[in-house]
Amino acid sequence: MPSIDIKNNISFYRSNISSSRCYQNILSSSDVEWLIDFMFKETGVYRLGSSGNMFFSENFEKIIIKFFDKFNEMIDLSEIVKVGGNFFLTPHQYGFHTDMPEKGDHHFVEGDVAFCTILIPLFHLPQKAKCHFMLFNERILSHGTTLDRGPSKSDTHYNSISNYDEIENLYNESGLEIKYEDKDFDNDLFEKYNMGATSPKERFNGFSIESVYDWTPGDAMVFDTTQLHCSNLGLKKELFKNKAGLRMSFYKNLKNKRDPIDWEKLK
Ligand SMILES: [Fe+2]
């Protein structure tokens, strides 16, 4: 099977660009416990990252069936052909990246497009830690990309770019292609969210924040899979040591090369 074809579907990605949103308390604490249990017991595959991350995947259709009405309220599930993503258990903040499939991911067919991503915080420890998830205005309409300018690098298997003059397929929130411009990142936001604890400021130069959400178990954030985002390690003296979440990315097919998932049949 081929990797996802983004180049020939740019017009879909441009017209699909929309603002992120957060559904607060859409899942109860017992729903969240059910998901944590599912992560360990019901997923089919796990992978260990070299720096201490654990990823669990597969069987996401079961999760959607369990919470069908809630997910269907957040996004239109009627044309979904594929659900990808992973649960993650991590001691790290996440670098500056998009969630698009990597080039080496060959689980796609002609006409597949990434529709959107849902991210659900499951826990963070210690609970008093104040962690955040940040979404930027810019999108990269390309395979999964990590922006790594500066001395440190993030632990990723995505395409890593450290020379930002090489960034291609960069778009703004209105769907217009833009050329990378090296402008200072907002210093107040950089300080407020303690982003310097893990990332150099120049990593974010030329980019602007769209939204910042608290990492609250039971909330769900919906955003474009092409949208740049990152997380912080927490505020000063309120850092997390471990956290878990569920990311699910949803795909449609524009050429009817595969049928939408029949949710009614799976129920
Ligand atoms: Fe991500």
Residue spans of the domains in the chain: they are 7-255
Please tell me the distance between residue 263's alpha carbon and the centre of ligand 1 in angstroms: 26
Q: Report whether 143 contacts 97 (CB < 8 A).
A: no
Amino acid at 205: N
Residue 154 CA to its chain's centroid (Å)? 15
Q: How far is the CA of 98 from the centre of ligand 1 (A)?
A: 6
pLDDT in tens, the chain (267 residues): 889 999 999 999 999 999 999 999 999 999 999 999 999 999 999 999 888 888 999 999 999 999 999 999 999 999 999 999 999 998 888 889 999 999 999 999 999 999 999 999 999 999 998 999 999 999 999 999 999 998 876 666 678 999 999 999 999 999 999 999 999 999 999 999 999 888 899 999 999 999 999 999 999 999 999 999 999 888 888 888 899 999 999 999 999 999 999 999 998
Strand partners, 123: 244
Q: How far is the CA of 109 from the centre of ligand 1 (A)?
A: 23
Distance 151 CA to ligand 1 centre (A): 21
- Cα–Cα distance for residue pair 60/62, rounded to 1 Å: 5
pLDDT on residue 158: 77
pLDDT of residue 239: 87
User: Amino acid identity, residue 7?
Assistant: K
Q: Tens of pLDDT along 210-258? A: 999 999 999 999 999 999 999 988 888 888 889 999 999 999 999 999 9
- Residue-level pLDDT at 52: 84
DSSP label at 44? S
Does the CA dihedral 154-53-127-247 come out positive or negative?
positive
Distance 255 CA to ligand 1 centre (A): 27
Query: Tokens 């603002």 identify what position?
Result: 19
Give residue 225's pLDDT: 98
Digit-coded pLDDT (tens) for 21-42:
999 999 999 999 999 999 999 9
Instruction: Quickly tell me which residue has 């500056």 as its tokens.
Output: 96
Q: At residue 85, what are phi and psi to the nearest 5 degrees? A: 120, -165
Q: Ligand 1 centre and the CA of 90: distance in Å?
A: 13
Distance 41 CA to ligand 1 centre (A): 23
Distance CA 88, CA 108 (A): 22
CA 253 – ligand 1 centroid, Å: 22
Ligand 1 centroid, distance to 99 Cα (angstroms): 5
Whether 153 and 168 have beta carbons less than 8 Å apart is answered as no
Give the helix/strand (H/E) hosting 188. helix 187-192
CB 80 within 8 A of CB 252: yes
- The CA-atom distances, in angstroms, between 198 and each of 134, 235, 237, 248 are 14, 12, 14, 25
Please tell me the predicted confidence (pLDDT) of residue 1: 82
Ligand 1 center to 86 CA (angstroms): 10
How far does residue 158's CA lie from ligand 1's centre (Å)? 11
Q: Determine the distance separating the centroid of ligand 1 and the alpha carbon of 102, expressed in angstroms.
A: 12
Cα distance between the two ends of the chain: 28
Q: Which fold has domain 7-255?
A: Jelly Rolls (2.60.120)
State the pLDDT at residue 157: 66
Give pLDDT, residue 91: 85
Q: How far apart are CA 223 and CA 200, in angstroms?
A: 25
Question: 265 alpha carbon to ligand 1 midpoint, in Å?
Answer: 31
CA of 229 to the centre of ligand 1 (A): 6
pLDDT of residue 50: 81
Asked whether the whole model's pTM tops 0.75, one would answer yes
Distance 211 CA to ligand 1 centre (A): 14
pLDDT reported for residue 197? 86
Question: Ligand 1 mean position to 120 CA, how many Å?
Answer: 11
Per the structure block, which two tokens stand in for 7?
A: 């180049």
* pLDDT for res 146: 94
Dihedral (CA of 141, 211, 245, 116) sign: negative
Give the pLDDT score at 19.
Answer: 98
Say what the pLDDT of residue 156 is: 64
b (16+ CB within 10 A) / e for 180-196? beeeebeeeebeebbbe
User: What tokens were used for 19?
Assistant: 């603002």
Distance 258 CA to ligand 1 centre (A): 26
